[in-house]
Amino acid sequence: MTGYGEASAHLGGVQYFLEVRSLNNKYLKVVLRLPDALQSLEAELESKLRERVSRGTVTVSASVSDNSASAAFEVNKKALARYIEQIKEASGGHAQQLDIASLMSLPGVLQPPADAEGRLEATKAALFDLLNKAVAQLTQMREREGKALVADLRSHHEFIAARVVKLKEIAPSVIHEYEKRLRTRIDSLLSEAGVKVDTVDLVREIAAYAERTDIAEELNRLGAHLEQFMELLTSTDSRPLGRTLDFLAQEMLREANTIASKSPDAAISRLAVEIKGAIDRIKEQAANVE
């Protein structure tokens, strides 16, 4: 599900900011956007995030602005002096105009503050705290979306259940209608010849047709799937339900396809198509359920 959360803090002269965005995805995909100096924290941040989120494309962006004097890099004077000495030697001892910016960019001239490791630990602690706060906001937003999603899934469930009831009402009459048409057709064809069809043969043909077009078993299974579907929607289990709902929707679609293929009746076919449409919408929404 989609969601957004952010958090910030100002600690010891350092400004920290972190935001979390999520988009729909069947699986969990984590994208981290951190400053180069914080790349070493990626694995730990992702691990912390996976403890709280199980589905979606989740993007975490963080920034750190240190305006304190302690953030300044230190100049390695010995290294700088050695570079200048070598430049003079290379120029034959002649005076050269030296560019201080170029000198500072030479390897080893600027070195990180002596307490770089301690600063990194402080940054990690601050970002972990901000991650928890931002994910809490994101979770609240996803929960609100989830309630609307459950209401939508319930409406699809009611739609399908109502059509299953209609199918159960219609299905028995299909056999009776076939028997009437068959008797009428046979009587019409044989009346002029004065021949009567054997009742046993007629019953056998009707029984074979009933066997081919019987959808009672599919309707029973579809009804059972609907019951399980509602149980999942009303479950208080904290485990993710999206993949289970998706699998269940596939099973429901299989039964609807069988119903449509077995019965030649137009009314049954129309109801089966309506059911399949609702199941497709369930499958789309199941991808958003965590």
pLDDT digits (tens, 9 = 90+) for 228-240: 999 888 877 766 6
Q: For residues 158 and 228, what is the distance between their CA atoms, to the nearest angstrom?
A: 13
- The 3 state secondary structure assigned to 209-278 is HHHHHCCHHHHHHHHHHHHHHHHHHCCCCCCCCHHHHHHHHHHHHHHHHHHHHHCCCHHHHHHHHHHHHH
pLDDT over 90, % of the chain = 33
CB-based contacts of 78, cutoff 8 Å, min separation 6: none
Could you please state the CATH topology (level 3) that the domain comprising 146-286 is classified under: Butyryl-CoA Dehydrogenase, subunit A; domain 3 (1.20.140)
The per-residue pLDDT for 207 is: 63
- Mean pLDDT, range 93-115, rounded to an integer: 71
| Predicted TM-score (pTM) of this structure | 0.59
Mean pLDDT across 212-233: 87
Judging by DSSP bridges, how do beta strands 3-11 and 28-33 pair with one another? unpaired
Tokens of 262: 């077995």
* 276-283: average pLDDT: 92
Confidence of residue 99 (pLDDT cuts 50, 70, 90): confident
In the chain, where are the structural domains located? 3-70+116-143, 74-110, 146-286
Which tens digits make up the pLDDT trace of 138-150? 989 888 888 888 8
DSSP-derived secondary structure letter, 70: G
Compute the distance between CA of residue 197 and CA of residue 286 in angstroms, rounded to an integer. Answer: 54
Would you identify the CATH topology of the domain 3-70+116-143?
Ribosomal Protein S5; domain 2 (3.30.230)
Least confident of 20-34, 68-82, 225-239: 68-82
Task: Reply yes or no on whether the pLDDT at 189 is more than 60.
Answer: no
